[in-house]
A and B are shown apart, each in its own frame.
Chain A
């Protein structure tokens, strides 16, 4: 079962920041937070991941609370092409005893509107 909780849907105005929340209150110390998105009828696309510190890349920023029980994915300037289902997933690092598989929850459908 997925270990994260996300709102089922959100709207965002084009050009504005999209802030997508995720709760992972049972996260373990060795689990990372990953974000993927899936545009309709395509395979999921990796966005970003983090453990404790906030992370930023060319696509987004990831803010993880100090207690690590929740996080927020920020798309700084949403465009119409960012309309997709966004999945927040917790996952242990790959090692000899695990494969690092991803278990998807229901995700948040983000609709970016003109």
Chain B
């Protein structure tokens, strides 16, 4: 199946710093990618939809200035958590839909990136 890779898989940072997480589709092009956040023992919560070459669409309640998304190419989307605080500690997961899979094609998910803010 299609492969989506995230980097880093885990990161620890100090409060107030910014952290960038990359999401790459390795063997397909993805005009659209999605970013999710997951807290312990909870389900995935959609944060935003990332569109290549245009601004991301954020879900209600997600601060766009806090979570910067850039989708500069058809195979790469980045999520930057700016001025991270301990409450931003979470498991961040991206997903991508192959451009060839329009219609009913499944979304492919990355392995996730675990962020811990001290």
Q: Which residues of A contact B (CB under 8 A)?
A: 2, 32, 34, 36, 38, 41-46, 49, 51, 87, 93-95, 99-107
Contact = CB atoms under 8 A, between A and B. Distances in A.
Nearest to B34: A101
A106 B106 contact: no
Contacts of A107: 43
Contacts of B91: 41
A102 B46 contact: yes
Contact of B43 (A41, A101, A106): A106
Contacts, number: 66
Interface string B46-71: 10010000000100000000000000
A42 B103 contact: no
The secondary-structure label for the interface of chain B is strand
The secondary-structure label for the interface of chain A is loop
Contacts of B111: 42-43
Contacts of B114: 41
Contacts of A106: 43
B45 to A, nearest CB: 8
21 contacts: A2-B43, A32-B104, A38-B44, A42-B111, A43-B93, A44-B44, A44-B109, A46-B1, A46-B106, A46-B108, A93-B103, A94-B101, A94-B102, A94-B103, A99-B57, A100-B105, A101-B46, A101-B49, A102-B107, A104-B43, A106-B43
